[in-house]
Amino acid sequence: MNPTSSDAVHEDGSLDRLSIDTIRTLSIDAVEKANSGHPGTPMALAPVGYTLWRDFLRYDPDTPDWPNRDRFVLSVGHASMLLYALLHLAGVKEIDADGNESGLPAVSLEDIRQFRQLGSKTPGHPEYRMTTGVETTTGPLGQGCANSVGMAIAERALAARFNRDGITLFDHDVYVLCGDGDMMEGISGEAASVAGHLGLSNLCWIYDSNSISIEGSTELAFTEDVGRRFEAYGWNVIHVDDANDTRAIAQALEKFRAENDRPTFIVVRSVIGWGSPRAGSEKAHGEALGADNVRATKKAYGWPEDAQFLVPDGVAEAFRSAIAGRGRPAREAWEAEFDRYAKRFPEAADELQLLRQGKLAAGWDADIAAFPADAKGLASRDAGGKVLNAIAPHVPLLMGGAADLSPSTKTLLTFEGAGSFEPDSYGGRNMHFGVREHAMGAIANGMALSYVRPYTATFLVFADYMRAPIRLAAIMEIPTVFVFTHDSIGVGEDGPTHQPIEHLATLRAIPGLDTIRPCDANEVAAAWKVALSHTHEPTALILSRQALPTLDRSRYAAADGLQRGAYVLADCAGGDPEIILIATGSEVSLAIEAHEKLSGDGVKSRVVSMPSWYLFEKQDAGYRERVLPRSVKARLAIEQAGSLGWDRYVGMDGATITMSTFGASAPLAKLQQKFGFTLDNVLKVARELIASAP
C-alpha cells in the first residue's frame, strides 16, 4: 500500500493515523494468531505510544544501548504487543548476548507472527535480555512502575558522579505506561511516594485510565481519585481526556519536560480496545477478539478486512526516520562529548566504561581485612557492615540502603563522602527507602538495569514482602544484592512473627538466585566478594543478629571455600568419616563443637560448611563427591530453618536438626534448648545415625 492512497485505508487520510492503526492491527493480528494475549490495551494506547516514541523519546534505533538514551518502560506488560510493534516500526537493531550488534532487527515482522510462541523474541510479557529494546521484564503489575523509579534514581546518581565542568553525559528521562492494575497494586504507591519525596523530575508515568479490569468495570473495587493521590505524593498531575488526542498528549509531554522539581503523572482517559465492537469489554482486554470481531474492528479503522500483519508502505520508514532523526544526532553528539570527556577526565571515563561492562576495577577488594580468630566473635550483620564499607569506596555507584532498618542491618555506608541520596544531594550513596520493602526491591532492580550496583537490606522474615522483585531479578539475570539479617530463631524475644523459618527454602527455590548464609566474619567477606563478582545472578546474603565465633582458619579450612558453595571445614585423619555434619550460618560453630567432641571420643567425623547450595550445585561431580562421598550414609544437617530441601544432601539414611514449627518468644538460649540446637542433642542424633548406618 502507498501512503499517498491512505484515504482508502482510513478516512482521516493522515500518515499519523495510518501508523497508529498499523500498531493496532499488528497487535490484533498477533493476538489472534496466537489465540492468546491482550489486544485491548495496545489498541487503546497506540496513539500514546506512537506520539511518545515519534516525537519525544530520545533513542537511536541503531544503538539501542546508548547510555544516555531515554528509557521506556511498559509496566502494563500484558500489552506487550504495543512495545513489539513500536520496536518493529522503529527498526531497532538487535544487540546480542555478548553486547554486539547482530545485524538483525530487534523485532521482525516474523517475530510478531510468532508472538507468544516457544523460542520467539516476542514472549507474552516483555523480557529483558530476550528482546533488545525491552528495558526491564514486566508483567507482574506495579513492578515496572517501581523499576522506573530506580532508573530515574540511577540517572540522577550517574549525572552527579560524571557530569562535570560543563560536560553533560547523563540527562535522560524515564517514561512509563501504566494502568489501573498498576495503580491498584501497593508497590506503585510505595514507589511513587519515594519518587515524589526525591523530586525525580526526570520521571514521567502515563496512566491509562480505562476503567476496565479482568473482572469487569473498576467500579467493582477501585473508585478513588488517583490523580489527587499522586498530587499528595508530590507529583505534577496532568489530565488528558482522550487517548486519541495526540495533540493533547504531546502538550502533556511538553509540560513534563518543562517540570524541574517533581515527577509527572499524566492521566489519560482511554477506551480499551478502541474501535472494536467489544471495546471496553473484558474480552477486548484479555483474549483474542475472534475472526468476526477482527474483521469488524478493521472495518471500523477503514482497514482491509482480510489483511494480516499489514505494514503499509511508508509507515515504518517515516516512524523510524522521525525517531532516528532525533536520536542519532543526539547519540553522535554524546559520543563526541564522551571523547572530549575522556581526554580531560581519563580516570572517570575508564570508571564509566567499567560500569557499562559490569566489571569491577582492579583491587576493588584489597581493603577487606581478614578477621582474627575470636571465640566470642561478632554478628555476621556487623561483619557485613565492615566488609561493605571496605569495598564501597572502590566500587563506584555501589549504593543502597534498608527499609528503615540500616541501624539494625548494619548496611549504612559510613566512609568519608558516602552521604545520603536525597533531593538536594543526588551524589549520596546511602538510600533511605522507608518502610517499603516491596518497592525497595523493585527500585533496586531498576538501578541495576542502569549501571548502578545496588543493594537492599531488611530482616529475613520480610523477604516475603520482596519475593516478586527478587524473582524478577533472577529472571532478568541482574546482580542486585539483597541483604537479609536477623536470620533465625536467634532473634529471640521478638518471637515467631520475626523469626524466619521457611524463608531460606523459598529463596533457595528461586532459579538463578545465589542464597548465601555465611558462618563467620571471614565467610561474610568471601560472600560479599562472590556477590559483587556475579554479573548475571542476584544474591541473597543471609546474616545473623547474634554474635558468631570467628573460626581459627589456621586450624580449619580457609573461608574462600565459600566460593564453591560448600567445603570441608574440619575433617578426620585417614579415610572416610563415619559421619558428616553439614551446617550453615550460626549452626556451623555448633557442628564444629560436636566434631571436636566426637573426635575426642575416637569418632571420625567431618564438618561441611554449606553456605550456598546454588554455588555447590555448579561444581563438578568430582568435587561434590569429595565433599560428600556417597559411601558415607550417616549425615546430619543442622540449620535453624525448615527442613525442606535438605534431603538431597543427607539422603534417605540421614537426618536433620531443623525447625518443624514456628519459633517462640524467649531468650535465645531457651529457644536453642527447646528446639534441639544444643551440643548434647547434636551428639545424640549423630551417634544414633552412626549406629544405624547401613
Secondary structure (3-state) at 517? coil
C-beta neighbour count of 50 within 10 angstroms: 26
Q: Taking a C-beta distance cutoff of 8 angstroms, is the pair 348, 165 a contact?
A: no
What would the 3-class secondary structure string for 652-663 be?
Answer: CCCEEEEECCCC
Asked if 421 and 429 touch (Cβ cutoff 8 Å), the reply is: yes
Cite the active site residues.
Answer: 437
523 membership: H or E segment, kind and range? helix 521-533
Q: Are strands 539-542 and 481-485 parallel, antiparallel or unpaired?
A: parallel
343: left (phi over 0), alpha (psi -120 to 50) or beta: alpha
- 474's grid cell: 533472577
Query: Alpha helix (H) ranges present in 114-215?
Result: 143-162, 180-184, 186-198
Q: What are the helix (H) ranges across 459-520?
A: 467-476, 503-508
Q: How far apart are CA 345 and CA 692, in angstroms?
A: 69
CA pair distance 350, 342, nearest whole angstrom:
8
Question: Nine-digit cell at 153?
Answer: 534514581
Which DSSP letter does residue 99 get?
S
CA distance 529 to 522: 11
User: What amino acid is encoded at 379 in this protein?
Assistant: A
Find, among 155, 37, 249, 221, the residue nearest to 452 by Cα: 155
Looking at beta carbons, which pairs linking 415-422 to residues 24 or more positions away fall under 8 Å? 415/389, 418/392, 421/153, 421/156, 421/157, 421/198, 422/198
Q: How many CB atoms lie within 10 A of CB 296?
A: 16
> By 3-state DSSP, what share of the chain in percent is helix, strand and coil, each rounded to 5?
45, 15, 40
For 1, the grid coordinates are: 500500500
Beta strand 514-516 with 539-542: parallel, antiparallel or unpaired?
Answer: parallel
Q: At what angle do helices 40-55 and 15-34 cross, to 10 degrees?
A: 140
> Which DSSP helix (H) or strand (E) runs through 432?
strand 430-432
How many angstroms separate the CA atoms of 240 and 252, rounded?
A: 7
For 581: left if phi > 0, alpha if psi spans -120 to 50, otherwise beta; the answer is: beta
Those residues whose C-beta lies under 8 Å from the C-beta of residue 97, and which sit 6 or more positions away, are 129
Distance in angstroms between the alpha carbons of the first and the last residue of the chain: 79
Q: How far is CA 653 from the centre of its chain?
A: 39
Question: What is the DSSP track for 32-84?
Answer: HHHT-S--HHHHHHHHHHHHHHHHT----TT-TT-TTPPEEEESSGGGHHHHH
Question: At residue 322, what is the residue type?
Answer: A
